């Protein structure tokens, strides 16, 4: 038969286990109880930090669950797109026009860096400089950052063809949209 001290010790250990289980957040709990936000960045896809388009106070000291990630390319410079090499018929893509049909090179695809709190998040790991299409959309990522956020930085390096006739690549402007849950 256990004495009172042993029973109290076991009760204390059980309370500790219950507290630990309550602290753990399931994916369902985060989605149902977290704050859903859509974060955005924009800038040139030249490898520099994109400009954050939200107040940092929204994310500071909160934990993060990333749901989806999307890159939308825009024309950096005005360019003419010819229908074929011998045609004089063409259309002009104005500066800052959204590029729905991106023409990029297999060897010059995009590199994506997402830095959370100054360190790289392994969301888009790659061993080469060009691994992803520049018009990327990935849903159901569910990347969970368990430490409180101080800042999120996004860098995109990528090129598209701006002159189809001579296959001239250049870095476009991009907008990055990230669906998240903050908790």
Domain map (residue ranges) of the chain: 1-33, 35-182
Q: pLDDT above 90 covers what percent of the chain?
A: 41
* pLDDT value at residue 104: 75
* pLDDT value at residue 6: 82
- Per-residue confidence at 80, pLDDT binned at 50, 70, 90? low
Q: Which one, of 182, 181, 183, 177, lies nearest residue 138 by Cα? A: 177
What is the chain's mean pLDDT, rounded?
Answer: 84
pLDDT value at 83 more than 60: no
- Among the ranges given (24-33, 74-83, 125-134, 143-152), the one the predictor scored with the smallest mean pLDDT: 74-83
pLDDT value at 165 more than 70: no
Rounded Cα distance between 180 and 38, Å, is 6
Token pair, residue 94, equals 């104005």
Mean pLDDT, to the nearest integer, of 4-30?
76
Rounded Cα distance between 161 and 90, Å, is 15
Q: Which one, of 125, 29, 28, 124, lies nearest residue 69 by Cα? A: 124
- Per-residue confidence at 61, pLDDT binned at 50, 70, 90? very high
> CA angle, 10 as apex, 7 and 14 as ends, to 5°?
140
Other beta carbons less than 10 A from residue 41's beta carbon: 22
């Amino acid at each position: 038969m256990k004495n009172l001290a042993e029973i109290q010790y076991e009760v204390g250990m059980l309370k500790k286990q219950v507290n630990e289980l309550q602290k753990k957040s399931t994916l369902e709990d985060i989605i149902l109880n977290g704050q859903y936000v859509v974060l955005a960045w924009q800038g040139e896809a030249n490898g520099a930090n994109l400009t954050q388009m939200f107040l940092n106070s929204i994310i500071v000291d909160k934990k993060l669950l990333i749901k989806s990630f999307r890159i939308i390319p825009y024309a950096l410079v005005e360019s003419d797109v010819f229908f074929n090499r011998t045609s004089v018929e063409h259309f002009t893509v104005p500066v800052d026009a959204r590029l729905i049909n991106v023409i990029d090179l297999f060897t010059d695809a995009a590199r994506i860096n997402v830095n959370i709190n100054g360190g790289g998040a392994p969301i888009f790991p790659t061993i080469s400089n060009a691994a992803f299409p520049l018009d990327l959309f990935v849903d159901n990522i569910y990347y969970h950052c368990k430490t409180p956020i101080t800042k999120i930085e996004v860098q995109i390096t990528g090129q598209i063809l701006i002159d189809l006739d001579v296959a001239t690549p250049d870095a476009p402007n991009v907008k990055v949209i990230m669906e998240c849950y903050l908790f």
